[in-house]
Structure 1
Amino acid sequence: MQDVSPVSDDKAQKAAFESNKLAKRLRHHVGDAINDFNMIEEGDRIMVCLSGGKDSYALLDILLGLQKSAPIDFSIVAVNLDQKQPGFPEDVLPGYLESIGVEYRIVEEDTYSIVKRVVPEGKTTCALCSRLRRGILYRVATELGATKIALGHHRDDILQTLFLNMFYGGKLKAMPPKLVSDDGRHVVIRPLAYCREKDIERYAQMRAFPIIPCNLCGSQPNLQRQVVKEMINDWDRRFPGRVETMFRALRNVVPSHLADTALYDFATIAPGVVPEAGGDTAFDKEEFRDPVAPADDVEAPRRTISILDSRPKAPECQ
């Protein structure tokens, strides 16, 4: 029997350290988002929409971890919509969900045939597919008595949506971390809102989730979202820290310095009123500092996050 070399042992220890650090970082990001937007409350029943992709797997995994130690009680039910795509491996998700012991439901609806019949060849299928899927999931949430619907969109998805709306829709609009559903009957939450996609990718590899590719829309070339994604990723490579700064801007909006008359009352501005925060910089020389890349090894000081607090220990029997 051969001894394990010191080099191999060091690599294993380093890999374990990095994995633990990544898991803690994602857990804290999710906890921060839940706390900031009051996403989960006592007694909630969370319906986690599981597509078979890395993002929804990570969402379910992290929420299950938080559920075990959170100071509030909430339940989780995983839901997958089987859209009857040709070649979809129907056994993968039930097998995985049973192996981790989570309540789940597989919903079978042939939206694939509808999309292929309605959308002309070569056109993007995402819009119709999303509408059909959304309506079905709202119905299922009602049937299951879910109080919240959790989706796996992350920080990069939110930024991509911002630029898509700016470039193609003429709107300053992104994905909110929390909103009321289109039917007005449910609350939709995005607990991964503060998480970076590259962290989620590493986490999915570390946890060896059984990823199922989407052959309906994910394989379509030249999608506008893919173009925007590549643009943002290029900025991230060339200017580390820029993506973090852009996302921070979504949480630091100054309506008086935009141009939406429905959002800010420009008509009543007159001499003598109290100047707005930020003031008038029209005659100032603009100075912008380069963004600072976040250091993965340095955790920023954190406030106490309710969802991350450990639940009180049961009193010992006398």
Structure 2
Amino acid sequence: MPPDTGPHSGRPSELIGRQIAGYRIEREVGRGGMAVVYRAKDLRLDRTVALKLLAPELARNDTFRRRFTYESRVAAAIDHPHIVPVFEAGETDGVLYIAMRYVAGRDLRHLLDKEGPLAATVATRIAVQVASALDAAHDHGLVHRDVKPGNILVAAGTDSDHPEHVYLTDFGLTKKSLSLTGFTTVGQFVGTLDYVAPEQISGRPVDGRCDVYSLACVVYETLAGGPPFQRDDDMALLWAHQYDVPPAVSGKRPDLARGVDDVLAKALAKSPDDRYGSCLAFVAALRAAAVGQPESPWAPPSPPGWARPVFPEAGRL
């Protein structure tokens, strides 16, 4: 039997140099369980793009294909400076694809692995850009569900006052689509364990406040050098998200104002009702606490998405 050298085989792909849907693939830049991302050349417009190819089994599911098409269109309609623009999504030769702006730089995962904990000013600069992107998505009825350092791209900024320009990515392959089509099963959910909200784990309905929780886990890691909960096995980690009190970040960063602990504790509340009503409200409180200011009693209004139906997850523990 010939070796499997397709885009999802885990072996070096033979797609480099090939043309798919008007894009010539140049090199692989990332891969996950259900997709591979390539740097590619848009032959029609002569521009570099990030081309994500989804696992072939997804294209064989009619419900997923419909959801993918719909939600890719919604994502493409969001015009926001901190969301990676979606150029095109479709299907070719039995493979679903999505073409996005190619962002030169590195993701937050690589930045943290290289530099360790960030200064509070840098962490909050990054957080406010991600929060703005998430709230914009919520305004359009999209919940990200997988906010993590690997989905936060950090590019060069415009000047010394704005040294980073941050993009949030991975809206093209939605987590809701996977749960609706049976690609999550009993005992599973879509998300990354270090940053997953308690309601995602238990299969309760979710809205944008699950992104508040995940963003708080990311912010905690940017300040402390690791996520709030670190356990020896996955089940213990899932339990911690649902029941354990997160350790105070000031225990690892005594240089931080003590108010930062209170802000993170609220954003990491087990119940969505006890968290901040939006990602920007959380980051506004974080910035104030970082400089020793009391939290303002006023907060930005909750995004309109709160009035929309919440989305149940398929998987349950």
Structures share a fold, TM > 0.5? no
TM range (shorter): under 0.3
Q: TM-score, normalised by structure 2?
A: 0.27
Structure (1/2) with the larger strand percentage: 2
Structure of greater relative contact order (alpha carbons < 8 Å, 6+ residues apart)? 1
Structure (1/2) with the larger helix percentage: 1
Q: TM-score, normalised by structure 1?
A: 0.27
